[in-house]
Chain A
Amino acid sequence: MTLIEPIDEAALRDAIAEAVAARCTLAIEGGGTKRGLGRPVVADRQLSLARLSGITHYEPHELVLEAGAGTPLAEIEAALAAERQQLAFEPPDLGPLYGAPPGRRTIGGAIACNLSGARRPYAGAARDHVLGIRAVSGRGEAFASGGRVVKNVTGYDMSKLLTGSFGTLAVLSRVTVKVLPRPEAVRTALFPGADAARAAAIFAHAGSGCWEVSAAAFVPGAAAGRSGVDFVATSNGVVALRLEGSREGVMARLRALRNSLATGGATGGATEELHTARSLVFWAEVASGALLPANGAGGDMIWRLSLPPSRGPAAAARIGEILGGEAVFDWSGGLVWLALPGPGSLEAVQGQARRLRSLVEEHEGHATLMRAPEAWREDVPVFQPEAPALARLTRRVKENFDPLGVLNPGRMFEGL
């Protein structure tokens, strides 16, 4: 497959215009770490954004950073760290989930997939931190939206339309994101030996108070055993709550939260605490699916269920009874990573997916197939199938931005 690597936005525009003229389809990639996410793309050419790399504008006092779509996130994170700032949506590194080495992902990839980590319920998703974009649509025309300021309603919010569109409407050339101060202190409280019911009680209690939890996860026994953090690995299942803020504030809040949980009967026995470094490792493991079983060892099908948080534990329990598998809970239960063994035949896989989706829908959620063998991702819808009126609207949006279907054909929905 021909590889095209534009060196600037004009070259990107020309490459797409040329592909449109030649009726050639394009597979779009940043660092190429998430090729396994979405439906398999069969395209005539590969379009890499790797050379649209570099931070083009960073003003710490304005809390804004702009970079080429192909800029490695590692570079951005290092620049932010030097100013004691961060991307508050904590984009997870999904590379290893698909067999790529860690640290290769790009800002464009994180935005195109709307990937957010543990802080999402409290600080917003990737889409909430994108202030502006520059992109080239499937018409071979460059356009911009948004800007460098946080408060902006000038024109339609095309940044949100493109965030999470998996390169199917336009190819990002540059993104502007909001950045935020890094908290002075971080502590993660661990409550070992928990089961799903206890986790649900802890989430509910922690959410009802004023402790400002910034992450809440439940990792059951087997998954906890895969952690590189010793307290977690030996915990036989753990509920984790993270607090961030000023040094004195975090300590005082942590004490109050622990006491309240113990008094309320939600926890008992010993608790542990992760400080900054190990806290970082643990939350990255949760957000990147690293605690799930490997391919061939029960992790043939990895699903990501998005649910109203209070319904996560109950939904997962019901799914477990019917389909088996292993679950890890993030976002106070609003995000369930589910690993299912592949049931063998394609028909069985399709049946399993249908059953799973109907169970998730009963709980007002939706399911995305995050990892599965390529053949299955072709025939099992990766994204939740849309109701007919919405599917027609999605098709019209695609047709307006990419009328010939040259960009990442079929990545999100079959035939789109």
Chain B
Amino acid sequence: MEMPAPDQRTLSRRREIARALRRLLPPDAVIDRAAELSAYESDGLTAYRQTPLITVLPANRDEVAAVLRYCAEEGIKIVPRGAGTSLSGGALPLADGITLGLARLKGISGIDLANRTVTCGPGTTNLAISEAVAADGYYYAPDPSSQVACTIGGNVAENAGGVHCLKYGLTTNNLLGLELVLMGGEAVRLGGKRLDAAGLDLLGAVTGSEGLLGVITEVTVRVLRKPECAAAFLAGFGAVEDAARCVGSVIAAGIIPAGMEMMDGPAIRAAEDFIGAGYPTDAEALLIIEADGPAPEVAAASARIEEIVRACGATSFRASASEAERLAFWAGRKAAFPAVGRITPDYYCMDGTIPRGSLPRVLARISELAAHYRLAVANVFHAGDGNLHPLILYDANAPGELERAESLGADILRLCVEVGGVLTGEHGVGVEKRDLMAEVFSDDDLKHQQRLKCAFDPDGLLNPGKVFPTLHRCAELGRLHVHAGRLPHPDIERF
């Protein structure tokens, strides 16, 4: 993965920059010793590593603004970082860039249950938000598997999902307001506790922008009343295709489950060995389906789901008999990645989304591709919304395996695009899928995305090297290409 060439002048000024930052921040907030910097050299995409120039850990908005103002004036690049759990390399450092960690902007500053909102620092963990309102019967819906560690600021930057997106949406659908500091140090407030934007929906545009538009210093999210009732079902199938067809049948019946997850044979057995969730280890595919809501609705949906699943040829079916059992069903799914991690030296997690209808075909094709590259794949994914997480098993110490894994991954993503899907459903583009963006977008598509970037960060100092395969200068993007009003084909009917 090629990153922008480091600016030699910035590299040579490293000590001077650290001194300047120490004038802006408390001494312990500036990290420039090699041993301490190594903690920041990668995120959840550990195949890529780079020691940052310097790491800063500001503790409030004014400190963030001071750093950004200084860096804008000096032309120094910034890489924002939450907990560093990104699976796409969104927080991969730059040799000539300052990694700006937001871990110290944590803590909940406001709970307004009358309006179902929680306001907190970007460094607050996803789970801490749910915990803060749990006693009152509320929770924050998006639940990425890393929710114990990942921060809400990172969730907003990546538009994180989770297993309950199907019914409750991604981060963007549960976010109400942000305070964002722009590269020059200016702060803007986007949204608030009300339900719609006053002007342009910049809140929506910033969500999922992967740290390229601004640095988040405060987040207001919507929390939901915990459902009165939730029931989970485990359905085992003899073939992956049967389970995939069943997913379509549930949706076609007009049911939107709170979650509908699928694991294939290797993933089922790895999870069962690790957690003992009670999964049917003889099945080749497992669906975990959850219905939640008012008790009478859950009862109605449960009966329909069982009927449909049995009609789809499930070889086993279990309904959770207690809350503990429901959580156990999910524990296996939530631990699927680490469980797979136990059976392979390394794994590479993909994140494409496809139309649900193409699930059987895509899964079959992934098996063929895996065989071609002589690698094993375990599939764990959000079947309800077609978001796949094929885990490619490989050994980084075996010569050529990483390269084969990456080629297989790229082929899988191309396959997703080919069937009408996209490269990433919830992990982000980052550095990982950057060079595949042209598979999905035309040059003009990408240029318009970059023009949004130009409105926020005209000098391109925020997180360069991520998301866009080619970086155009804003001055170049700003030019209008007009050919004296001449139309390309004046002879055909237009208006």
- Name A residues whose Cβ lies closer than 8 Å to a Cβ of B: 4-7, 11, 14-15, 17-18, 20-22, 59-64, 84, 114, 116, 120-121, 124-125, 127-128, 137, 139-145, 147-158, 160-161, 163-165, 169-170, 180-182, 184, 204, 207-212, 245-246, 248-249, 252-253, 306-311, 331, 334-335, 364-366, 368, 383-384, 386-387, 389-390, 392-394, 396-397, 399-401, 403-404, 412-413
A387 to chain B, nearest CB (A): 7
Q: Is the CB of A143 within 8 A of B248?
A: no
User: In the bound complex, how far is the Cα of B353 from the Cα of A124, in angstroms?
Assistant: 22
B55 to chain A, nearest CB (A): 26
Instruction: Please provide the 5 A-B residue pairs with the shortest distance between their CB atoms, ordered closest to farther.
Output: A160-B204, A21-B485, A210-B228, A181-B254, A310-B114
Contact residues of B between 104 and 119, Cβ < 8 Å to A: 112, 114-117
* Contact status of A165 and B480, CB under 8 A, knowing A149-B385, A156-B208: no
6 residue pairs from A and B, CB less than 8 Å apart: A150-B353, A153-B424, A153-B425, A156-B208, A309-B114, A365-B194
- B67 interface residue per 8 A CB criterion: no
What are the residues of chain A within 8 A of B187 when measuring CB–CB? 389
Q: Is the CB of A164 within 8 A of B194?
A: no
| Contact with A393, one of B112, B166, B202 (Cβ below 8 angstroms) | B202
CB closest chain-B residue, reference A62 = B355
User: In the bound complex, how far is the Cα of B421 from the Cα of A190, in angstroms?
Assistant: 45
Q: Number of A-B pairs whose CB atoms are under 8 Å?
A: 305
User: In the bound complex, how far is the Cα of B125 from the Cα of A303, in angstroms?
Assistant: 39
Give 1 or 0 for each of B326-346: 1 = CB within 8 Å of chain A CB: 000000000000000000000
A262 to chain B, nearest CB (A): 18
User: In the bound complex, how far is the Cα of B298 from the Cα of A249, in angstroms?
Assistant: 9
What are the residues of chain A within 8 A of B354 when measuring CB–CB? 149
Q: Is the CB of B355 within 8 A of A148?
A: yes
* Contact status of A152 and B297, CB under 8 A, knowing A59-B357, A383-B198: no
What are the residues of chain B within 8 A of A120 when measuring CB–CB? 195-196
User: In the bound complex, how far is the Cα of B115 from the Cα of A84, in angstroms?
Assistant: 32
Contact residues of B between 280 and 334, Cβ < 8 Å to A: 293-297, 299-301
Q: Is the CB of A151 within 8 A of B353?
A: yes
Q: Is the CB of B200 within 8 A of A151?
A: no
A197 to chain B, nearest CB (A): 15
* Contact status of A384 and B198, CB under 8 A, knowing A61-B248, A128-B173, A308-B112: yes
| Contact with A157, one of B112, B159, B445, B458 (Cβ below 8 angstroms) | B159
Q: Is the CB of A181 within 8 A of B296?
A: no
- Interface 9-residue window, one of B44-52, B263-271, B368-376, B434-442: B434-442
| Contact with B192, one of A63, A309, A364, A383 (Cβ below 8 angstroms) | A364
| Contact with B495, one of A5, A157, A212 (Cβ below 8 angstroms) | A5
Q: Is the CB of A401 within 8 A of B451?
A: yes
B381 to chain A, nearest CB (A): 10
Q: Is the CB of A246 within 8 A of B422?
A: no
- Interface 9-residue window, one of B4-12, B26-34, B92-100, B486-494: B486-494
Contact residues of B between 405 and 462, Cβ < 8 Å to A: 420-429, 433, 437, 440-442, 444-449, 451-456, 458
| Contact with B194, one of A139, A204, A366 (Cβ below 8 angstroms) | A366
* Contact status of A158 and B452, CB under 8 A, knowing A143-B444, A147-B422, A149-B422: yes
- B396 interface residue per 8 A CB criterion: no
Q: Is the CB of A161 within 8 A of B495?
A: no
* Contact status of A164 and B256, CB under 8 A, knowing A151-B170, A310-B114: no
Q: Is the CB of A400 within 8 A of B451?
A: yes
* Contact status of A153 and B297, CB under 8 A, knowing A5-B495, A310-B114: no
Q: Is the CB of B296 within 8 A of A400?
A: no
Known: A116-B196, A120-B195, A127-B201. 13 other contacts (CB 8 A): A114-B201, A128-B169, A149-B421, A153-B428, A154-B437, A181-B255, A210-B227, A246-B296, A366-B194, A390-B189, A394-B202, A396-B454, A403-B478
* Contact status of A141 and B482, CB under 8 A, knowing A154-B429, A160-B172: no
What are the residues of chain A within 8 A of B159 when measuring CB–CB? 153, 157
User: In the bound complex, how far is the Cα of B202 from the Cα of A157, in angstroms?
Assistant: 10
Give 1 or 0 for each of B145-181: 1 = CB within 8 Å of chain A CB: 0000000000000110100011001101100000000
Q: Is the CB of A125 within 8 A of B444?
A: no
CB closest chain-B residue, reference A17 = B482
A164 to chain B, nearest CB (A): 5
| Contact with B424, one of A11, A121, A154, A384 (Cβ below 8 angstroms) | A154
- B84 interface residue per 8 A CB criterion: no
Q: Is the CB of B425 within 8 A of A161?
A: no
Q: Is the CB of B449 within 8 A of A155?
A: yes
What are the residues of chain A within 8 A of B355 when measuring CB–CB? 59, 62, 64, 148-149
* Contact status of A151 and B386, CB under 8 A, knowing A6-B494, A400-B452: yes
Q: Is the CB of B488 within 8 A of A14?
A: yes
What are the residues of chain B within 8 A of A61 when measuring CB–CB? 248, 251-252, 356-357
User: In the bound complex, how far is the Cα of B383 from the Cα of A237, in angstroms?
Assistant: 47
What are the residues of chain B within 8 A of A308 when measuring CB–CB? 112, 114-115, 117, 192-194
CB closest chain-B residue, reference A211 = B294
* Contact status of A14 and B112, CB under 8 A, knowing A151-B425, A157-B172, A211-B294: no
What are the residues of chain B within 8 A of A4 when measuring CB–CB? 495
A121 to chain B, nearest CB (A): 6
What are the residues of chain B within 8 A of A154 when measuring CB–CB? 422-424, 429, 433, 437, 440
| Contact with A114, one of B173, B197, B442, B444 (Cβ below 8 angstroms) | B197
Q: Is the CB of A22 within 8 A of B293?
A: no
What are the residues of chain A within 8 A of B451 when measuring CB–CB? 137, 400-401
- B85 interface residue per 8 A CB criterion: no
Q: Is the CB of B421 within 8 A of A161?
A: no
Contact residues of B between 195 and 244, Cβ < 8 Å to A: 195-205, 207-209, 225, 227-229
What are the residues of chain A within 8 A of B131 when measuring CB–CB? none
B288 to chain A, nearest CB (A): 17
